[in-house]
C-alpha cells in the first residue's frame, strides 16, 4: 500500500464548499502515479515501451465530505492483476484523522499496446505488482 498526500484546492470544491465528486477520480489518478514512483517506475516509462493502461471501469463511494484546504491521504494498492489487466483500490481519509474515511474506490485497467489491442502486462510490471501484493 502506498499513501499519497494531496491538499484540496478551492477549484476542487463545488457551490456547497465540498469536494466535487468527480475530483476523487483525479485523486485516485494522483495516487496511482505515486504508487508507480514509490516502486521505482513511472507510467511514462510504460508508455515509452508502448504499453498503455486505460481505465476501463471505475467505482467510487462517498462516505463524508472533504472541504477546501483539507490535506487528504489517498491510500492505493493493487487489488488484483491478471494477464492483461489490473485493478487498484483506494481509500481517501483526512490527514491526521485516520478514522475519517471520506471515500473508497476501485479502478480497473486494461493493458493495451499503441494499436489499442489488448496485450500481456510486461514482465517488469508483473514483478512490480507481485512485490506490491
Residue 11 CA from chain centroid, whole number: 20
Active site residue 12: no
Query: Which member of 12, 14, 70, 115 is catalytic?
Result: 14
Determine phi and psi for 30, rounding to 5 degrees.
Answer: -55, -45
Here the cell at position 37 is: 514512483
Here the cell at position 96 is: 491526521
Determine phi and psi for 33, rounding to 5 degrees.
Answer: -60, -40
Which letter does DSSP use for residue 116 in this model?
A: S
Sheet holding 2-7, edge to edge: 2-7, 71-81, 85-94, 101-110, 55-62
Q: Calculate ∠ Cα 109-113-114, nearest 5°.
A: 115
Q: Could you list the active site residues? A: 14
Amino acid at each position: 500500500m502506498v499513501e499519497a498526500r494531496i491538499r484540496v484546492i478551492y477549484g476542487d470544491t463545488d457551490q456547497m464548499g465540498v469536494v466535487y465528486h468527480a475530483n476523487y477520480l483525479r485523486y485516485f489518478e494522483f495516487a496511482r502515479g505515486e504508487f508507480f514512483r514509490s516502486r521505482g517506475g513511472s507510467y511514462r516509462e510504460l508508455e515509452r515501451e508502448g504499453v498503455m493502461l486505460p481505465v476501463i471501469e471505475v467505482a467510487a463511494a462517498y462516505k463524508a465530505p472533504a472541504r477546501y484546504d483539507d490535506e487528504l491521504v489517498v491510500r492505493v494498492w493493487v487489488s488484483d492483476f491478471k494477464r492483461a489487466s489490473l485493478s487498484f483500490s483506494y481509500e481517501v481519509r483526512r490527514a491526521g484523522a485516520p478514522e475519517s474515511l471520506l471515500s473508497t474506490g476501485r479502478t480497473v485497467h486494461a493493458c493495451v499496446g499503441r494499436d489499442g489491442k489488448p496485450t500481456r502486462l510486461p514482465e517488469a510490471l508483473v514483478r512490480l505488482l507481485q512485490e506490491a501484493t
